[in-house]
Structures are given as C-alpha cells and as structure tokens.
Amino acid sequence: MAATWPAVLHARSQFMSGGAPGNGEASPGDHLQTLYHYWLVGHQLEHGRAPWRDPYTFQPEAKPQPNYAGWPFGFLFWPLGAAFGLVAGWNLLQLVVYVLAGLFACAWLRELGLPRGPALVGGLVFAIAPYRVQQSVGHLLGPISILLPLSLWAFERGWFWLSAAAIASIPLSGQVHLALGAIPFVLAYALVRRRDRQAVIGAVAGAVAAVGAGLLVRETLIKGSTEAGGRKLAEITRYSANAGDLVERHLDPGRSEQFIFLGWLAPLLALVGLIFLLRSRRYGLAALLAVGVVVPVVLALGTNTPIYSPLWHALPPFRFPRVPERLLPIACLCLAALVAFALARARAVVIALAIVLLFADLHAHLYRQSAPGSPERAAYRGPGRLLELPLFDPSVHYGSVYLWYDTASRRERPGGYATTAPKGAKRTYDRLQRLNCGDWSDGTAALLDRLGVRAVALHLGLYGHVGDTEWFALQALDEHGWHVQRRAGTVLLLERKPAKQLDLLPAPDATQPVFCQGWYGDTGNGRYMSETHAPLWVHGRKRMHFDSFNVQPKVHIREGPDSWKLVTVDVGQLVHVPGQGRRVGAKLLGIEPVR
C-alpha cells in the first residue's frame, strides 16, 4: 500500500501509474499497453480464440501479432477485471504482485536456512526495491521479475518443473533482455547449490526451455520487425545511467529509465551480509550473490563505462535491448538476500528496527494517479477498421492510449504501439502520419480505402504531442467527406456520413506558419527538414527562401480552407551538412509575405 501511495487512495477510479497529464483523455503510459495485453488474454478466451494472439493491432498490414506480454499475468487479470472492472482490476493486480514478490523472495530465503525474521526483511527489500517499483508503475519488467525468486525457491524444493516453467516464462513474456541475465544466473545458482544428477538435469532443462522461449519470441515477433537488426549504440547511450543515479532517490520524469536507486542503508547491510557469508565459508553462494549485484549495476551504466561497447560488438544478443538497466531485478534480488544474511543472527528487536529503517531507506515516491478517460463513450462499434489521429510512431508510448480505447471498440486498427512493430505497418504509418496535419497528398484517400478504414477517432487531447495541427486535420477530413458523428470529451468520432459540421475548433493564428511533422526546430536562422517530405501551412501569399545544400527541394502548394495554403517540400534524400550531427534535408531560411 505504501509503495503505491498516494495513487492507491484513488484505486477505484484512477490507474495507479505514472500520473502523466491526460488533457481530457486517458493518461498515456506503458501501463495502458501492459493492461491491454492482460485484457486481451481473457477477451480472446471468452470468444473461443487463442489467448496468445492480438487480432486488432497493425491490421491489415501484418499477421495477428503474438500476445506474449499477456503471459502469465493475463490469466490472473481476467477474473479481476471481470469482477471489479478494468481500472480497479489493474490496481488490485498491482497490489497482489507486490505481495507475491515479497512472499516468493521470503520463501526462497527460508530454503537457504535463514530464520523467518531475516527472510521477511529480504522479502521486503526485494518487494519494494525502488527499481522494481519503478518498473512496475507501468512496465511489465517489475511484475515479471517475481518469477526469478519463484524459480530459485522451486529449485530448492526439488520442483524442477516449476523452476523451469518460471525461468522460461521470463523470455516467453517478451522480457528477453532480463532473460539474458536470468538464465545464466539461475543455472549458475543451481550448480552452486546442488551437484546431484537430478538437480543438474533439472537446471539444464530449465535453461534450455528458457532459451527455446527466447528463440520463439525472436523468430515470431522480433524477426521481421523494425528492430530486427538490433539497436544502435547511440540509443543505448541515451538510456545509460550515471554512477550518481545509484544514490539519487528523486525520479526525473525525463529520465525514468535511468532511475536505478538502490538505497543508502541496503547496500551497506548487503556488504555486511557478504562478509558474514564469507566468514561462514559459503564461498560459492557469496560469490554468486556478489556477482549478481555487481554485473547488473555495471551494465546499467551502459556506455558510461568502457565495458558495454565491447560487449555490444562481441555478443549479438546485447545489440537488441536499448535500455541497459533491464538486468537490475537480479541485483535487487541478490541485494535482498545479502541484507537478509546480514541479519541472520540478529535479535527480534534488531530485525524490527531494520524493517522500519529499510522501509524508509527504500521508499521512493513513484506512483501517481492516471486518468482513465472515457473509452466506452468514444467507442466505435460499426463495421470496418478504425484509424486514430494523431498517429504516433509505433515505438512512441502515446499510442498506448489507443490500445486502452480499443478495449471498448474492439476493432482492427492500422496503428499500434510496440517497439517491435512489423516493417509493413511502419511503412504504412510513414504515409498515414501526414493526416495529422491535414496533408492528403500521395494517394492517402485511396490508402484508407484499401485499409478498410470506416471510422476515424480524432483525439484532441493528444495533439499537443505532435504539434497544434488538429484544426487542419479536421478541416481536411471534412473536405474528404469525413464528418463528426459524435463527441466524447476530447475525442471526435468521424465517419463518411452526412452530418452537420460544427465549429468545433478555433482557427489558428493566421500571422504565423504552422509546421507539420518533417521539420526540426528553429535554429535561429532557419529550419532543417527532418524527413524527405515536410509539409507546413501558411496563410495568404508568401515567399519562401531555401538553402538546399545540393539537395534541390520540390515545392508544391495546395489551396486550403480560409486562405490557408498547404506547402509540401520534398527532397530525394537527407544529407550530412557541416555543423549538424544528423542527416537533414533542405533548410527553410525564412518566409515573408508577398506585397
């Protein structure tokens, strides 16, 4: 309850999550993506369909996508969502998973011979480990990390089938980065703890099953996606944490992935626990737990150390994750175990004091309430497919809002939110995103017909993330026969049916040009094109001046509403220019009125 405070106070009506502004709609965030995958499991089962399939996203440009992220918590969410509603069901599952995290870690530590009190302390340290909490706010990594102590506990009990199932479920859920560390860690743990033939066979079988699950995810989801070639080292640099982040309790919203706070007291107690293990001559376990803390922490620093870049070049699996901190749940568990060993012989009063101090030491204010919006009011239930505007690149988290709204509409959509989007769906997005700004060039109307789109949901509350171009988008839709049928808060639902056009939005400032997607920001002496096709809107007659950098721009002008003109600038390719660390197109030096 305290880990999710104060969002838990609003658990009946608001999501316990990151608290991003909703602007009249659902607050965007990974929690909506995770919930969608959970919800899809029960929805598919209720309709007699495979729970591991997503029949709605990226349609019809791709085959039904695998719903690996629904495993295994989608089966727990199904009855909770049915009984309490999707919002309260999500929040209740969050609390249940925290309890399971502590119980699994505590049960494992008891199997290592620790008394109940120290084991409870270790369970607490793992359950509310700040990194694990941050990755539970919306991401699937936090909940999935509880399978790690479950696997170790099952191995200690001799239930090798359960241990194998738990470790294999980590990559099967799509958390293949965590699996890169979890598989060798569990295998090494098994060899340290037991050498009998049955245990070794069980451990190897579990590792093989986990590797097989990872290969399945790669072949059926990653291969053929936009990330099939891996990540650039520059992307990893962007998400690499600094050494100071290890002791920084405050969460910077712009650097949420770099939040790796381990506490101040917990690491000191862990060091004491390591000394006690060495003094008791449990060298193998001491070495494993120490390595389990140090290696994930060092890798979390990414390219800020001289280690990650050689690993990235030498080991192909390391070229795919873009967030190097993903192995930190292993460190959280090992740290919890070492803290427990530090208190192995402590009296009850010391343990009680340790619980209070560690609770204060590890607590970080990470949860806030997130608005759920009104998906039922905005739902489209007619025939054909649904297109949501504004369109976001499939890797951008604002698209999570559309996944949440589709739990009500339940319609196939050309869009979607996934870092492993199919390449065909990405190409379609690159063409359709022009609709965000009312640019219907290059056969967009014919493309919508081919896709079978019969309704458009215009999310006004999300337009601030792509530019204030919603007026142009709505005017262009009306020009092409799409009319508003109803309004649900900040969501407009349009179909190609007659309707009285309402004056829904104020016209933009006619004295300023409006730049669409395809332009970098103003450098002070002009703007570079960021894409080969870059539109903008100008009012009245204007003269435009370009610096082409040997890339000759082709400029087309089309008349728009109320004396606005759509200007589209196209170049054959983006090029490198002096002083720019990125590829750019032509540079728009200025716009002046024609007198």
* pLDDT at residue 271, as a whole number: 97
Task: Judge whether 147 and 166 are in contact, CB under 8 Å.
Answer: yes
Query: What is the distance between the alpha carbons of residues 420 and 415, in angstroms, rounded to a whole number?
Result: 13
Q: Single out the residue of 587, 564, 464, 441 nearest to residue 513, CA to CA.
A: 564
The total number of residues shown for the chain amounts to 595
Residues with Cβ within 8 Å of 144's Cβ and at least 6 positions away in sequence, in order, are 169, 170, 173, 175, 178
The residue with tokens 């109307």 is 445
Helix, strand, or coil (residue 10): helix
Residues of the chain with pLDDT under 70: 501-503, 548-550
Task: Judge whether 298 and 307 are in contact, CB under 8 Å.
Answer: yes
Q: What number of other Cβ atoms are within 10 A of residue 107's Cβ?
A: 18
The residue with tokens 């994930």 is 296
* pLDDT at residue 549, as a whole number: 65
Task: Judge whether 568 and 439 are in contact, CB under 8 Å.
Answer: yes
* Joined tokens for residue 467: 């530019």
* pLDDT at residue 14, as a whole number: 94
* Joined tokens for residue 115: 């008394």
Helix, strand, or coil (residue 564): strand
Task: Judge whether 122 and 105 are in contact, CB under 8 Å.
Answer: yes
Query: What is the distance between the alpha carbons of residues 450 and 445, in angstroms, rounded to a whole number?
Result: 9
- In the chain the domains, ranked by start, together with CATH numbers, are 117-363 (no CATH), 375-495 (no CATH), 514-593 (2.60.40)
* pLDDT at residue 194, as a whole number: 86
Query: What is the distance between the alpha carbons of residues 452 and 23, in angstroms, rounded to a whole number?
Result: 30
Phi, psi of 137 (to 5 degrees): -55, -35
Q: Single out the residue of 68, 67, 96, 69 nearest to residue 81, CA to CA.
A: 96
Task: Judge whether 489 and 25 are in contact, CB under 8 Å.
Answer: yes
Helix, strand, or coil (residue 536): strand
Angle at 369 between CA 366 and CA 372, to 5 degrees: 135
Query: What is the distance between the alpha carbons of residues 137 and 322, in angstroms, rounded to a whole number?
Result: 19
- pLDDT tens digit sequence for 307-363: 888 988 888 888 888 888 999 999 999 999 999 999 999 999 999 999 999 999 999
Helix, strand, or coil (residue 539): strand
CA atoms within 13 A on the CB side of 171: 30
Residues with Cβ within 8 Å of 315's Cβ and at least 6 positions away in sequence, in order, are none
